[in-house]
C-alpha cells in the first residue's frame, strides 16, 4: 500500500516489501514513465479522466510513481496497478492520505460514488485487483448512460437471407443448395445497419456479468435512466448467447471509432476491462501493465462540483463557454476558467486544490492565480470596483478546524483557505454519514468586510 505523497506538505517515501525481481519489474515497467506513454502502450491500463481538456497535455506528462532504491514515491493518482511478465507479478495499491487503519480507502470510494452518481449501502471490503474491479463497476452506469444519450450504437453487418424479397447480391452456391428445385426463394447477401452488433453484444455480456456481482442490484437499478438503458440493450440483442462471450470479446479488441457515437469508445474499453478482469490479472503473457487509476486533483474538483453547482456556482470548464472574460475587447477569445465562481453575493471564486494547505496560504502560484481570477471577475461594476468579494482555495483536510482568511489590498476582497474535514471513521456507514454532514460549506464565515 502506498499513500498519496504529493498531497502532503513534504515529500514522504514509504518502503514497500517486494522481492528483488518485483522491484526490477516495477522499475522497468512504470517508474518514471509518463501517463500518456503507459496508456498508449498498455490498453488494459485505464486512467480517469481519459480527457482533461486544457489540462490533458500536462496530465499526460505526469508520472504514476518514481522508484529510488527500495522506496516508491507516488503523485496524485489513486487506485490499483499491476505489472507482470512471464515469471513475475507485482501489484501496487495507491491510497489517498485519508485511508483508514483497516486499509479501506473510504474517501476514494465516497468521491467516486458522488461523482458518478452511484450509491451503495455496504461498501465491498475487497482489496488489490478485486478492488480494481469494484472501481470498474462504479464507472459502468455513468458511461453506459452517457453512451445511450447519443443513441443506440449502429453498425453495418453482413447478413445472409433466403426469401423472395431479394435486396442484395445473389449467393449462387447457397441458392442452388437451398432452393433446388426452385421454391420461389432466392439466397442472397446484403450489408445493413444493425442494432444487434458486436458492440451492443459486448454491453449485454457485461450486464450479464455484473448480475453475478454482490453489487448487481444497486448497479443495474441505480436510477430510472440506468434501468431504461439496460432494458434497451436487452431488447436489441435477441441473439445473445452466453457461450459466445469470448468471440464477442475478440470482435471488440479493435476500438469502435465513430464520428457520432464518440462515447461508445470509452464504454467499449470499460466493458472489456470488466469482462477480462480475471484473465488480465492472472495471465502469463509478456510484459503487461493493467489496472485502473484516478487523478486525485480531478476527482476532488468533480466532487466539489456536486456540492457547489447545487448552490448556483458555475464550474469553469474549457470548451463549454463558461469562463470569465480576461480582456475588455468584448470578445470571448481570451477567457479564463476558474474551478468555481458565482456572480451572486458580491462575487465568489473558488479554486479546488487536492493538497495539504493546513496552516498556510497555499503556494505562491496558487495565490497569484486566485487573485487574478478575483480581479478579472467583474462582479461589482455598479460599485465602481472590479473584483470578487471572496476568493478561496478549498482543500481536503484531516483537521476539523476553520481555515484562515485575510483582507486584500488594492481592489479589496477576502482571500481564504477553506478546509473540508475528512473524517477518520473505521466504519463505512459512519464515514459516509459524516461526509454527508460536511457537504454544507459555510463560505460567509470567511468573508472579511
pLDDT at 144: 94
Q: How far is the C-alpha of 24 from the C-alpha of 167, rounded, in Å?
A: 61
- Last residue within a domain, chosen from 163, 178, 194: 194
pLDDT at 3: 47
**136 shares a domain with 167:** no
If one counts every other C-beta atom within 10 angstroms of the C-beta of residue 252, the result is 21
pLDDT at 416: 94
**334 shares a domain with 432:** yes
User: Do 224 and 145 contact (CB within 8 A), yes or no?
Assistant: no
User: Do 310 and 114 contact (CB within 8 A), yes or no?
Assistant: no
How many CA atoms, within 13 angstroms, populate the side-chain half-sphere of residue 104? Answer: 19
Q: Quote the distance between the C-alpha of residue 33 and its chain's center.
A: 21
User: Do 418 and 394 contact (CB within 8 A), yes or no?
Assistant: yes
**340 lies in a domain?**
yes
**207 shares a domain with 114:** yes
**26 lies in a domain?**
yes
- Last residue within a domain, chosen from 272, 298, 324: 298
Phi, psi of 63 (to 5 degrees): -110, 155
Query: What's the first-to-final CA gap in the chain, in angstroms?
Result: 46
Locate cell 456481482: which residue?
213
**95 shares a domain with 239:** yes
Relative orientation angle of helices 129-148 and 198-210, to the nearest 10 degrees: 130
User: Do 362 and 353 contact (CB within 8 A), yes or no?
Assistant: yes
**386 shares a domain with 263:** no
With a cut of 60, say whether residue 385 has pLDDT above it: no
Phi, psi of 81 (to 5 degrees): -140, 140
Q: How far is the C-alpha of 336 from the C-alpha of 347, rounded, in Å?
A: 15
% residues pLDDT > 90 (the chain): 27
User: Do 128 and 265 contact (CB within 8 A), yes or no?
Assistant: no
Pairing of the two strands 288-295 and 45-48: parallel
Nearest to 350 by CA among 436, 446, 422, 438: 446
What is the tens place of the pLDDT at every residue in 240-267?
A: 999 999 999 999 998 888 888 889 998 9
**351 lies in a domain?**
yes
Q: Which three cell numbers stand for residue 431?
A: 464515514
DSSP 346: G
Q: How far is the C-alpha of 355 from the C-alpha of 9, rounded, in Å?
A: 8
State the average pLDDT for the chain. Answer: 82
Q: What mean pLDDT is predicted for residues 307-336?
A: 77
- The strand ranges marked E within 86-172 are 89-94, 155-163, 169-170
**317 shares a domain with 285:** no
Phi, psi of 183 (to 5 degrees): -120, 15
**187 shares a domain with 112:** no
- The total number of structural domains that make up the chain: 3
Q: How confident is the model at residue 1 (pLDDT cuts 50, 70, 90)?
A: very low
Q: Which range is least confidently modeled, 84-93, 112-121, 165-174, 402-411?
A: 112-121
**304 lies in a domain?**
no
**306 lies in a domain?**
no
Give the list of residues 6+ apart from residue 4 with CB closer than 8 angstroms, or none: 74, 75, 76, 78, 94, 95, 96, 97, 296
Q: pTM higher than 0.85, yes or no?
A: no
Residue-range definition of the domain harbouring residue 430 = 312-446
How far are the Cα atoms of 46, 149, 307, 449 from residue 111, in angstroms, in the given order?
18, 24, 11, 34
Q: Max Cα separation, the chain?
A: 97
pLDDT at 16: 61
Q: What mean pLDDT is predicted for residues 386-393?
A: 82
**34 shares a domain with 127:** yes
Q: Which range is least confidently modeled, 21-25, 187-191, 277-281?
A: 277-281
Nearest to 368 by CA among 351, 348, 345, 386: 351
Which residues, listed in sequence order, are joined to residue 303 by a DSSP beta bridge? none
What is the tens place of the pLDDT at every residue in 61-89?
A: 778 888 887 778 888 888 888 888 878 88
Give the list of residues 6+ apart from residue 232 with CB closer than 8 angstroms, or none: 148, 152
**352 shares a domain with 339:** yes
**358 shares a domain with 234:** no
> Nearest 10 degrees: CA dihedral of 306, 312, 317, 323?
-170
**303 lies in a domain?**
no
**307 lies in a domain?**
no
**46 shares a domain with 108:** yes
Nearest to 392 by CA among 432, 431, 347: 347
**305 lies in a domain?**
no
Which residues, listed in sequence order, are joined to residue 215 by a DSSP beta bridge? none
pLDDT at 382: 52
Q: What mean pLDDT is predicted for residues 280-298?
A: 71
**432 shares a domain with 398:** yes
- Last residue within a domain, chosen from 298, 332, 354: 298
SS3 365: helix
How far are the Cα atoms of 40, 65, 93, 413 from residue 367, in angstroms, in the given order?
35, 28, 33, 13
Amino acid at each position: 500500500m502506498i499513500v498519496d505523497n504529493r498531497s502532503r506538505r513534504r515529500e514522504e517515501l514509504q518502503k514497500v516489501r517486494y522481492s528483488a525481481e518485483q522491484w526490477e519489474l516495477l522499475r522497468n515497467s512504470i517508474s518514471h514513465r509518463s501517463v500518456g506513454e503507459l496508456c498508449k502502450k498498455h490498453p488494459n491500463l485505464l486512467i480517469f479522466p481519459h480527457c482533461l481538456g486544457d489540462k490533458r497535455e500536462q496530465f499526460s506528462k505526469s508520472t504514476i510513481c518514481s522508484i529510488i532504491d527500495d522506496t516508491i514515491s507516488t503523485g496524485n493518482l489513486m487506485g490499483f496497478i499491476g505489472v507482470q511478465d512471464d515469471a513475475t507479478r507485482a501489484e501496487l495499491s495507491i491510497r489517498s492520505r485519508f485511508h483508514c487503519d483497516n486499509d479501506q480507502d473510504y474517501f476514494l470510494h465516497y468521491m467516486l460514488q458522488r461523482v458518478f452518481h452511484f450509491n451503495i449501502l455496504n461498501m465491498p471490503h475487497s482489496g488489490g485487483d478485486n478492488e480494481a474491479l469494484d472501481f470498474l463497476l462504479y464507472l459502468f452506469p455513468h458511461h453506459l448512460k452517457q453512451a445511450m444519450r447519443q443513441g443506440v450504437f449502429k453498425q453495418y453487418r453482413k447478413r445472409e437471407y433466403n426469401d423472395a424479397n431479394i435486396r442484395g447480391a445473389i449467393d449462387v452456391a447457397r441458392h442452388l443448395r437451398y432452393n433446388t428445385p426452385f421454391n420461389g426463394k432466392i439466397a442472397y447477401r446484403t450489408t445493413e445497419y444493425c442494432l444487434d452488433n458486436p458492440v451492443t453484444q459486448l454491453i449485454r455480456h457485461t450486464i450479464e456479468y455484473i448480475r453475478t456481482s454482490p453489487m448487481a442490484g444497486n448497479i443495474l437499478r441505480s436510477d430510472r435512466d440506468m434501468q431504461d438503458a439496460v432494458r434497451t440493450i436487452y431488447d436489441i440483442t435477441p441473439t445473445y448467447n452466453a457461450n459466445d462471450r469470448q468471440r464477442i470479446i475478440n470482435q471488440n479488441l479493435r476500438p469502435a471509432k465513430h464520428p457520432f457515437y464518440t462515447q461508445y469508445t470509452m464504454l467499449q474499453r470499460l466493458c472489456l476491462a470488466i469482462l477480462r478482469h480475471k484473465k488480465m490479472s492472472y495471465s502469463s503473457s509478456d510484459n503487461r501493465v493493467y489496472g485502473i487509476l484516478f487523478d486525485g486533483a480531478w476527482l476532488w474538483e468533480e466532487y466539489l462540483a456536486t456540492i457547489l453547482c447545487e448552490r448556483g456556482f458555475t464550474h469553469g470548464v474549457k470548451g463549454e463557454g463558461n469562463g470569465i472574460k480576461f480582456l475588455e475587447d468584448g470578445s470571448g477569445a481570451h477567457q479564463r476558467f476558474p474551478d468555481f465562481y458565482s456572480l451572486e453575493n458580491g462575487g465568489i471564486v473558488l479554486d479546488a486544490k487536492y493538497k495539504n494547505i493546513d496552516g498556510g496560504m497555499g503556494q505562491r502560484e496558487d495565490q497569484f492565480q486566485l487573485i487574478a481570477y478575483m480581479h478579472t471577475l467583474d462582479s461589482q461594476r455598479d460599485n465602481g470596483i472590479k473584483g470578487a468579494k471572496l476568493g478561496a482555495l478549498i482543500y481536503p483536510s484531516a483537521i476539523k478546524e476553520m481555515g484562515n482568511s485575510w483582507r486584500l489590498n488594492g481592489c479589496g476582497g477576502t482571500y481564504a483557505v477553506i478546509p473540508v474535514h475528512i473524517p477518520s471513521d473505521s466504519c463505512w456507514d459512519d464515514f459516509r454519514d459524516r461526509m454527508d454532514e460536511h457537504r454544507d460549506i459555510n463560505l460567509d464565515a470567511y468573508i472579511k468586510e
